[in-house]
Structure 1
Amino acid sequence: MKITQTFTFEAAHRLPNVPTTHKCHRMHGHSYRVELQLDGPVDPTTGFVIDFFDLEKAFGPLLEQLDHHTLNDVAGLENPTAENIAVWIWDRTKPVLNELCLVKVFETPLCWAEYDGK
């Protein structure tokens, strides 16, 4: 069974490794959306793969590091592309949520990066 929970956060960033003429080289912000997908068996007693409240509790500390911050200032996100944010979230979430199978990071409603640990 696969389950997905969505989280949102607001943050500013700039992409330091693009040409100075690229508009994303300048500081700007996004309303990010993160989807965490988990894959595992349904517990016959609870009926859950994992309780969504437990998922919120596990991801909450990371969300606090991102929400209303400049992502370039977050350790490990000096080049905060959607791809790098997805890997950053995976690396910090997978150890506490073994069922994690996919992280999606939406920079806008029309563009996103997804990472499955590979």
Structure 2
Amino acid sequence: MNVELRKTFQFEAAHSLPNLPENHKCHRLHGHSFKVDVVMTGECDERLGWLMDYAEIGEAFDPIRKRLDHHHLNEIEGLKNPTSENIARWIWNEL
């Protein structure tokens, strides 16, 4: 049976979107409370009765959260233009 395991994380960070026009509000430095859902899908282990140890998701994401939380995202390598889409792609690659 295919199952889905989801864990939601939150972090606070500042960013600006440098590719927008200078008069756009998001071009200026501002902050957000970001939420990230990490979703694992696959077959349950018949013997254990689970897809994976739920704690492993947190262990995998915690170093990423620490790099993002209360930081200026534009200063993180790979996030020069930290749109939501680019942040999601960056997190996916880091995981």
TM-score by length of 2: 0.94
Q: Report the counterpart of residue 50 of structure 2 in structure 1.
A: 48
Q: Distance in 2 between matches of 1:80 and 1:3?
A: 27
Q: Which has the bigger relative contact order, CA under 8 A and spacing at least 6?
A: 2
Q: Is 1:34 aligned to 2:36, yes or no?
A: yes
Q: Report the counterpart of residue 86 of structure 2 in structure 1.
A: 84
Deviation of 1:46 after TM superposition, in Å, equals 2.5
Aligned residues: 93
Regions of 4+ moved over 4 Å:
none
Unpaired stretches in structure 2, ≥5 consecutive residues: none
Unpaired stretches in structure 1, ≥5 consecutive residues: 94-118
Instruction: Using the aligned pairs only, state the percent identity.
Output: 49
Q: Choose 1 or 2 for highest CA Rg.
A: 2
Give the aligned CA root-mean-square deviation in angstroms: 0.8
Higher helix content, 1 or 2 = 2
Q: Report the counterpart of residue 77 of structure 2 in structure 1.
A: 75
Q: Report the counterpart of residue 113 of structure 1 in structure 2.
A: none
SS at match of 2:12: strand
TM-score by length of 1: 0.76
SS at match of 1:10: strand
